[in-house]
Amino acid sequence: MTPQLRESRFLKAVRREPVDTTPVWLMRQAGRYLPEYMEVRSQVTFLELCTRPDLAAEVTLTAQAALGVDAAILFADLLPILRPMGLNLEYHAGEGPVIDNPLRTAADVDRLSEIQDIQEMGFVFETVRRVRADLPGDCPLIGFAGAPFTLASYAIEGGGSRNYENTKSIMYGDSGAWQALMDRLVPTLIRYLSAQAEAGCQVVQIFDSWAGCLSPSDYRRYVLPHSKRLIEGLPEGLPVIHFLTGNPALYPLQREAGGDVQGLDWRIDLAAGWELVGHDVAVQGNLDPVSLFADVDTLRDRTRQVLDAAAGRPGHIFNLGHGLLPTMDPEKVKLLVEMVHEMGGDGGAA
C-alpha cells in the first residue's frame, strides 16, 4: 500500500487515528438514483453490469467522483458468487434476485460446491484492478461479500423472505446440513475476499443484511462461529468492516464475531451503539437513509446529531444506516457529503 493511501482520511479513521474531518462513503453510492449509473444500466441487464469489468469499473469510479466521498466501493452484488457453486441465479424485473433451485433439504446442500478455483469470479478481480488503476491515489477501494448467514438465507429461500421459515427450518432441524452449508460458504468467501484484496482493495466489508431476523441466542449458536471463522481467515492486516442490519440487540455478538469497524444501522443512537461494541473499535454509520428525503435544514440537523453522537472520538466513519434508495435526489446526496466534511471537522481533528 502506498503511503498516500495509508494516510488517507478513511484508513486513518479505520485505525482510530485523528483525522482533519470525518470521512464519509455511502452504501449503494453507485446506484439507480445517480444519472451516470442509469445511463450505463439502461444499456445492459443488471447481471451483465455486474460481470463486465469495463462497466462495473465505470459506475464505481463515476459515483466516487460525482459525490466526492472518501472511499469507493466496488460495484458488484452479493449473490453472483452462488452461481459457480451450483445455484441458478437470475434477476427478474420487479422481483430482484431469484434462485430457481434453492436448497431446501440436506440432499440439496450436498449438491452445492465449494469454489476451489476462485478465478471463476475473475470478472470481479479485473474490475478491482481497473478501478484501483483509475482512482485518486488517496482514495481507498472497499471490496465486499455477503456474510455466510445472509448468503445461506438467499440460497435456501430462493429470494426475499419475511420470516425465513425455510432457512430456520434447516438451521433448527438439521444441524448437519447447516454445518455442511457453512463449511462450503466460509472457505469460498475467504478466498473471494482475499482475492479482492490481492487485486487492489484496501478494505473489505461483510454484509450480514438478513441476520437481524435472529434472536441473540440463535445468532450466537448458528452465525457467530462462522462469521468469526471467515474474518479470522482473511489476510493479516486487511481491515474488515462488519455490518449487520435490523437488530441492535446483536451488536455485542457482531463485535465478538470480529471486524476492525463495526457497521451500525439507524435503529440505535450511534453513541449507544459504540458503547455496545466497545470504544476499542471503529464504527460506521448511521444516518437513517430516509433523512435524505427531508428538507435541507432537517437533513443538516440529523447529520449533526450523528456527528455529535460520535463526540469527536477518533474512529467514526460516516455512512447511512443502510443503502441509498433509487428515488433519492443526487444533489441532496452530494450535499450530505459536503455537510459531513464541513461539520465533521468540529471534533476529532488532527
pLDDT, the chain, mean:
96
More confident residue, 308 or 159: 308
350: pLDDT strictly greater than 80: no
pLDDT band at 116 (very low <50, low <70, confident <90, very high): very high
pLDDT band at 160 (very low <50, low <70, confident <90, very high): confident
The pTM assigned to this predicted structure is 0.97
341: pLDDT strictly greater than 60: yes
Give the model confidence (pLDDT) of 309-337 as tens digits.
999 999 999 999 999 999 999 999 999 99
Q: Region 46-52: what's the mean pLDDT?
A: 95
Q: Which residues are tagged catalytic? A: 28, 32, 41, 77, 154
Which residue segments constitute the domains of the chain, with CATH numbers given? Answer: 3-346 (3.20.20.210)
Residue 349: what pLDDT? 40
Q: Give the 3-state secondary structure of the chain.
A: CCHHHHCCHHHHHHCCCCCCCCCECCCCCCCCCCHHHHHHHCCCCHHHHHHCHHHHHHHHHHHHHHHCCCCEECCCCCCHHHCCCCCCEEEECCCEEEECCCCCCHHHHHCCCCCCCHHHHHHHHHHHHHHHHHCCCCCCEEEEEECHHHHHHHHHHCCCCCCCHHHHHHHHHCHHHHHHHHHHHHHHHHHHHHHHHHHCCCEEEEEECCHHHCCHHHHHHHHHHHHHHHHHCCCCCCCEEEEECCCHHHHHHHHHHCCCEEECCCCCCHHHHHHHHCCCCEEECCECHHHHHCCHHHHHHHHHHHHHHHCCCCCEEECECCCCCCCCCHHHHHHHHHHHHHHHHHCCCC
192: pLDDT strictly greater than 50: yes
Residue 96: what pLDDT? 85
